[in-house]
Amino acid sequence: MIPAAFDYVAPTTLEEALAALQQYGDDAKILAGGQSLLPVMRMRLNAPEWVIDLGRIESLRGIREDGDAIVIGAMTPHSVVAADPLVAQHAALLARAVERLADTQVRHRGTFGGALAHADPAGDLGGPALALDAQFVIAGPGGPRTVGADDFFVDLFETAIGEDEILVEVRVPKHTGWGAHYEKFVRVEHQWSICAVAATVRISGGSFAGAGIGLTNMGATPLRARGVEEALLGRPASEDTIRAAAGRATEGVDPPSDLNGDADYRRHLAEVLTRRALLAALSRAEG
């Protein structure tokens, strides 16, 4: 289908984009890579009168180091995140997740911030963002504010970003030396996750000294598996510890049932994938 008619504006600064959002209010929609918004507009599930394209705002693009964090601009394409040496060194979990996200074409056009702002519970970046304690920098008429990953995902396709706000960048605390793995379960490669587990661990003196576990498509939002993390910390870095900890992967989950699998099947998957993700993460951890 062809989208309903709309007007288009492509500001070159964040301030201009925020002013346009203020001016057009509910009638406007932000356009990033268009990989989720354009299909929705073509199906006429959304028909904004104004589309505000962030594609010309250079300051929203790129990856840099800032003290104990790496900072990823919202408009950075997935393909750039996947290939970036800072991400590989300090946030390997993101690299592992992005390389499993969609196909080459989508990774080339779709953006890191767009995917997180879209907040599809089956999206592959929410779980890793939770596991890595990412911080979201959101700009609005009152200036910038920072929201932690735990508070960013509010509900199905809903985040803490207000209608008059723009996600500017994501700050990811460095996890240098941590092992990481993203275990994604799909029927056909390049599909959305039926279920996936993001795991990153730090090993010290033969024990788990740090752990971050995020679950994809196990509820209305991406979820953090705190029970699994608790069951790992301070315990020997062994398969036995991992097996016991993975048994807590379904605490607090509320998975959907659909043609790809019912809720019980997804609960089973979550445990199996958590075990696999942790074993792979452990094999890559330093120390």
Ligand X SMILES: Cc1cc2nc3c(=O)[nH]c(=O)nc-3n(C[C@H](O)[C@H](O)[C@H](O)COP(=O)(O)OP(=O)(O)OC[C@H]3O[C@@H](n4cnc5c(N)ncnc54)[C@H](O)[C@@H]3O)c2cc1C
Q: How far is the CB of 287 from ligand X (least distance, A)?
A: 31
Q: How far is the CB of 11 from ligand X (least distance, A)?
A: 12
Contact 86, 65 (CB under 8 A): yes
DSSP 261: B
User: Could you list the residues that contact ligand X (CB under 6 A)?
Assistant: 29-37, 54, 74, 101-102, 106, 110-111, 113-115, 117-118, 123-125, 161, 166-167, 192
Residue 30 vs 149, nearer CB to ligand X: 30
Q: How far is the CB of 283 from ligand X (least distance, A)?
A: 25
Q: How far is the CB of 184 from ligand X (least distance, A)?
A: 8
Residue 169 vs 202, nearer CB to ligand X: 169
Nearest to 197 by CA among 179, 219, 181: 181
Dihedral sign computed on CA atoms, order 97, 103, 108, 112:
negative
Within 8 A by CB and 6+ apart from 218, the residues are 121, 195, 250, 253, 254, 255, 266, 270
Strands 50-53 and 28-31: parallel
Q: How far is the CB of 31 from ligand X (least distance, A)?
A: 5
Q: How far is the CB of 202 from ligand X (least distance, A)?
A: 26
Residue 111 vs 260, nearer CB to ligand X: 111
Dihedral sign computed on CA atoms, order 150, 156, 157, 159:
negative
Residue 113 vs 256, nearer CB to ligand X: 113
Within 8 A by CB and 6+ apart from 27, the residues are 48, 49, 50
Within 8 A by CB and 6+ apart from 49, the residues are 6, 7, 24, 27, 28
